[in-house]
Structure 1
Amino acid sequence: MGKHVIVGSGQVGTHLAAKLLARGHDVTVVTRSGSGPEGAVRVAADVTDRRRLVQVTEGADALYNCVNPRYDRWLTDWPPMAASFLAAAEATGAVLVILGNLYPYGPVTGPMTEDLPLRPSSAKAAVRARMWEDALAAHRAGRVRATEVRGSDYFGPGATDQSYLGDRFQGPLRAGRSIALPYPADVPHSWTYLPDVADALVVAGTDERAWGRPWHVPTSDPLSFREVGERMAALLGRPAPRITRIPWPLVRAAGLFSPMLGELGHTRYQFTEPFVLDSSAFQRTFGVTPTPMDEALKATLDG
């Protein structure tokens, strides 16, 4: 068994820590507050403090970047964090496992595969693209061992209130009210289950076949918002929900007062056209499949 250092104890880091602990690994969780799950060594640290992160990572087999700064702070927060992760991986020899996303691909036509070029369509997406490009360059230069794991929009037990399938979706559904969305209800979209994200990260940190390239988390076939609502309603024994559309000009106006709402315009393309993740490479290479969708939705409703 090895030592694994997870930076971040949010919706992904918590699942990852639990899975590594269940496998008998020594797990250290690093957060600003020193919080983390029972069974893990909990360390309070600022990830931008390179010396401190190197100290915490000494002797580790893998270092996981599961940090999630607020979306409106990516331009300021990510660069120093990413530099610190690279420095710690280089100084200690720990495999650097980055929790990535699909933003760097930009708008695409057809399913997304890992060999697509990175064509970010916003400054924030470009920051994420640069993080992977820097890590990959360091890997190819022999300075670090690195990989990145990318998923689509998260759902599942422990998802944050920013999840599109979280309380803002489930609350009206459970109460029999209309679900109001700022996006079309019938566009196919890939949804990635949080425990599957953690499983993919475990593989990425422990299997050398994963290093030196990005991977997509095993993800089920895409479903529209309406299809998700119908399947959730069926699991609850309720009629299919009614879905209404919030006019986009109202969303933009609200964004003048809410930084997070103001950021939705950067990713609107992900919901107005089919947004489909192809995870066949990971599934084929490592023999891992996504959790069946109804099972995942039931756990989400129960969680």
Structure 2
Amino acid sequence: MRAGQRLLTTMKLLFVADPLEQFNIAKDSTYAMMRAAATRGHALWACEPADLSWQRGGCVSAVATAVHLTGSGQPWYRCDAPRSVVLADFDAVLMRKDPPFDAEYFYATHLLQQAEREGARVFNRPAALRDHPEKLALMEFAEWAPPTLVTRSTQAIRAFHAEHRDIILKPLDGMGGRGIFRVGPDGLNLGAIVELLTQHGRTTVMAQRFVPAIAQGDKRVLVIGGEPVPFCLARIPQGGEVRGNLAAGGRGVAQPLSEADWAIARALGPRLAARGLLLVGLDIIGEYLTEVNVTSPTCFQEIAQQTGYDVATRFIEALEAVVAAKGAQAEV
């Protein structure tokens, strides 16, 4: 399907997400997806992971509600009465639950994978969500990464610091910049930080050499259907912070992709798309890939507001194309 081309039929979409009343519609990318889908005539439904269930002899279902956008601020939606629906009856199911990737998220991916066996089309694919933990997925693409260590060993972290002198330490299940520490050449508080993050050697963490280019921003590069969005959001640390995450007070500045951004995104995009990852958010600092985000990548609205590039509509177009292609395959 050509960019901008509209499918003749409408889709029935189920968003598995956080509670709608918690959305910040000025920034939320899932809301942007919903708005773009509604504009193109698609029907919106929503539920939370806790609403999913399966019983022997039946199909994966959810207690879900039809969502109607009001287009008038608050309240930004109205819902029909909740009712039980079968996931395979939707044209597409979009898993948009925010991290952390905890045990309940893990269980939800298995329910969604069972729904796939029953004919549901789930994006991103549940197995791919499990296979690409957002920090550890970096290991597969090590040629693009800064010097990185994954361990629970205090001794290994101390040796890594001794070699690189200025490092970042972060938990593997963190989001929004939570739990990220920088330890400089003086090694101040390294022992205490390692004890805290590893829980005295019981929890695995990631260490990376500090990349000074963070001063120009931690760039979120979006890849849709294997193709990079031409603009990224550079999340620039503020007030002496080392974290650029918007949730940690970073300032978001949209900008065209650099040559390094294009190279990384083009190298990873087709490989990830082939695994059922329709939407990926790559985190790039300078010329280094630092994370591969697949659960609920964001920054749609910030990029659109600053550049005019409609990321959400591009995503819905890509979703339409994939669903149409899968439907055509099923008819053969």
Q: Structure 1-normalised TM-score?
A: 0.39
Higher helix share: 1
Larger Rg belongs to: 2
